[in-house]
Amino acid sequence: MSKKSLHNFCLYIYALSLPFEYWDPFNLLGIVSFVRIIAIFYILAALLNHNYSFRTRFTNPFVIPITLMFIFFVVSNLINIPYYGSDNLIINTSLLQNIILFWILANHLSSEPRLLQNVLLAFVMGVLLLSVLYFFEIGLVFRHDRITVFGDNPNNQGTKVAFASIILIYFTIKDYFNIRKKRFLFLAPVPLFLTFMADTGSRGAILTFILGIFLVFFLFKTNKKYKNMLLMLVGVLVALLALRWSLNQETLGARMHQFTEEGSLGGRAELWNKSYAIFLKSPVLGVGEDGFRKEMTSEFGRNRSAHNLFLYSLAVSGLLGISFLMIFIFRLYKASRYPLNYDNHLLLVLFILVLFAMFRSGGSFGDKFYFFTFAIICASQIGHQTTVILEENESNYFEK
């Protein structure tokens, strides 16, 4: 096996393993998760292919702002030690690893056009494997009346299943692999995915699915205006049917009724208000990650997540830190729109869905799936830019 083939193999295994992101097979309390082990092997394979893995020409506009945000996290942690102490590492190693993976993945995925298609399919296959385990009740963990496989967070797991469902539906509608009638086989796992999603009881996951369905149809463009209007109507109809279906599910339906009738956000409103109050204590540089943990523990009796990565960044690193996050996000938005000129709107759909997930998710930028999706978006633009440069060089050569 060549070095490049080994790197590609590690890439596919990494994508396949993402649905198992928080599986801890060695019971090390999350210190070494299954995906983190795969990520280490992938980075080692990248070192063998350093000629393209660590290029900076096209990735710098993305890597620099997110790295500066990371630096402000560290600076804020250091500055706030006299006020809050330092019970944890000053460096957020999960965020650092995700930035490195994003850099390598963006370069790797842009090195071969077929990798973008294959890596999306590998991720879907990982979700399918997860769903098969759910179907045969292997590794099931019950959190009250909610189901998860291998003890992952039901919201995280349900969201990944929702993403996989949207990708398969897009593959089918767009005939992404140009296989004509055979493309309808992509829809076969979707009923299983939806059942699994419902049993996780994740309102965020079903809302992600509904939003994704609407966007897939709404952004689909043809040469006929009446067809575009028809597709929009189909998108609205399918989204409404999905909403009605979710309300009829036992666990998910009860939680959705809380959301639609009582306005319940699962306690998020209180967490968001507290996170914003923490930000106001140090609006420029933030309170640092230890400061955030201790403020939340003081308020709620235990460490609580912000359930909003933007508010978390704002509270931890202040206006300076989040400004670089917003630059990173804005550049990704422009990159996600770039393929629209090439009749491909999947990346814009995925970008919007990740943004939606970040607005309601907890964690501290440790979720590898977000950066995996961002790398795919970035790589798509890099691939097109590289093609343009090669075409210009070829044209200049012949003109000479």
Q: Are 166 and 206 in contact (CB under 8 A)?
A: no
What's residue 71's pLDDT? 96
Token duo for residue 157: 């797991």
Q: Are 364 and 95 in contact (CB under 8 A)?
A: yes
What's residue 342's pLDDT? 58
What's residue 54's pLDDT? 96
Burial 116-139 (b: 16+ CB within 10 A, else e): bebbbbbbbbbbbebbebbeeeee
What's residue 397's pLDDT? 39
The stretches in the chain having pLDDT less than 70 are 26-31, 257-266, 339-343, 362-363, 385-400
Q: Are 249 and 194 in contact (CB under 8 A)?
A: no
∠ CA 359-16-135, nearest 5°, is 85
What's residue 222's pLDDT? 74
Token duo for residue 203: 């309102």
Token duo for residue 45: 């394979």
Domain boundaries, the chain: 3-391
135-138: long-range pairs with CB below 8 Å, 24+? 135/192, 135/196
pTM over 0.85: yes
Which residues share a beta bridge with 147? 142
Rg over CA atoms, the chain: 22
pLDDT, tens only, 130-188: 999 999 999 898 887 889 998 788 989 999 999 999 999 999 988 888 888 999 999 99
| CA atoms of 119 and 383, how far apart (whole Å) | 15
What's residue 336's pLDDT? 92
| CA atoms of 337 and 346, how far apart (whole Å) | 10
Region for residue 365 given its phi and psi (left: phi exceeds 0; alpha: psi -120 to 50; beta: otherwise): left
What's residue 85's pLDDT? 80
Distant-in-sequence, close-in-space partners of 240: CB < 8 Å, separation ≥ 6: none
| CA atoms of 11 and 148, how far apart (whole Å) | 25
